[in-house]
Amino acid sequence: MAQQLGYLSLALYLASFLCYARILYAPNIWVGRLATLLLACGIVAQYFSLYERSRVIQSVPYDDLYGSMSLFAWLLGITYIGLEIFHRQRSVGAFVTLLLVAWVTGLGFIAAGAPTVRPPARGPLFAFHVTLNTWAYAAFALSFVLSLIYLVQDRVLRSRRLSAAFWRFPPLDVLDRMARSSVYVGLVALACGVTMGFVWEHRLRGTYSFGDPKVIVTLAIVVVYAAYLLLSRNATWRGARAALLCAMNFVIVMFSYTFVNLYLTKFHRFF
């Protein structure tokens, strides 16, 4: 059942991407609304897919690669749809849904065959800790996409070679605000997630493992994104430099999500 719902969500994301791409080519308010609706339906379908998985393993699916990647994609979709509604801007939807389609398809190839791992019972606090941290990563991924679009738009404006799509993309100011909103969401989720992790660990062991590489890299992520938020208001940095910084910060997130998880940490080793 979870697999069928996974396929359904992929189909809905794909249909949503096609509608978003269509409004980039020829804007139409109804096609735009349909794109949002399809994305929302995809998110709902993926929720039930994750729910089915959670029901079987009696936990949030974070301990296996498929579950973790699927949770990431779902939270990315939720964060984007929230930003789209808040900023009333659909023109980046094509890029985000393309990323979702690629991600969900990719995880189908990479990890669909992997067995569902039942994590040891760690309680709801730990589940929130993992979910909130994954949400933070998803929000940072979104800010990365928005910053890249900002940099491309900025370059096009400076080169004065304007393509057809140029007139359809959001203004630099909107991209900047959307990227910052996304980073705010990510930082709040990360702060809450990390705090819950510490509380959970303290309850369990009575200590805090500040020396764990995952904790160190996560704190570095908080610092670099907080720096981005500060510098994006600064005279020397605001604009393209801040967007570049935001895009570069995501390299650390990817490092934390992959290399640190797989090779460096002891407590945070998944899959």
Partner 1 sequence: MPSLSKENPGQSGAIRIQVALIGCNHRTAPVELRERISFTPQQALQAADELRELGILEEAVVLSTCNRSELYGVPGDAHPTPAQAMEEYFGSFHRIPSKELEGRVYRWAGPDAVRHLFRVAAGIDSMMLGEAEILGQLRTAYTQALDHGATGPVLNRVFQGALEVGKRVRSETEVGTRPMSVALAGVKLAERVFGNLKGHSALILGAGNVAEQVIECLRNRGIGSLRVVNRSFDRAAELAKKVGGEAVAWESLESVLGLPDILVTSVSSSGPVLTRELLERAIAARSGRPVFVVDLAVPRNVAPEAAGLYNLYLYNIDDLGEIVEQNKKARELEIPRAEAIISEHIAKFEAWRAALEAGSIVDDLRGQFHRQREMLIREKLAEMEDVSPDERARIAHITEELIERVLEHPSKKVRHGRGMRGRLAGLEALRHLFGLDEDKE
Q: Which residues bind partner 1 (CB under 8 A)?
A: 26-29, 153, 157-158, 160, 162, 164, 166-167, 169-174, 234-241
User: Cβ closer to partner 1: 49 or 153?
Assistant: 153
User: Cβ closer to partner 1: 157 or 251?
Assistant: 157
How many whole angstroms separate alpha carbon 9 and alpha carbon 6? 5
DSSP per-residue codes, 24-92: HHS--HHHHHHHHHHHHHHHHHHHHHHHHHHHHHTS-S-SSHHHHHHHHHHHHHHHHHHHHHHHT--TT
CA dihedral 224, 98, 4, 34 (to 10 degrees): 110
What's the distance, Cα to Cα, between the start and end of the chain in Å?
Answer: 22
Other beta carbons less than 10 A from residue 81's beta carbon: 18
Could you identify the residue written with the tokens 């801040």? Answer: 242
CA diameter of the chain: 61
How many whole angstroms separate alpha carbon 187 and alpha carbon 226? 8
CB-CB contact of 222 with 211 (8 Å):
no
Minimum Å distance from CB 243 to partner 1? 12
Minimum Å distance from CB 257 to partner 1? 32
Minimum Å distance from CB 238 to partner 1? 5
Minimum Å distance from CB 22 to partner 1? 10
Minimum Å distance from CB 40 to partner 1? 23
User: Cβ closer to partner 1: 26 or 121?
Assistant: 26
Minimum Å distance from CB 143 to partner 1? 18
User: Cβ closer to partner 1: 7 or 25?
Assistant: 25
How many whole angstroms separate alpha carbon 54 and alpha carbon 72? 15
User: Cβ closer to partner 1: 111 or 152?
Assistant: 152
User: Cβ closer to partner 1: 199 or 229?
Assistant: 229
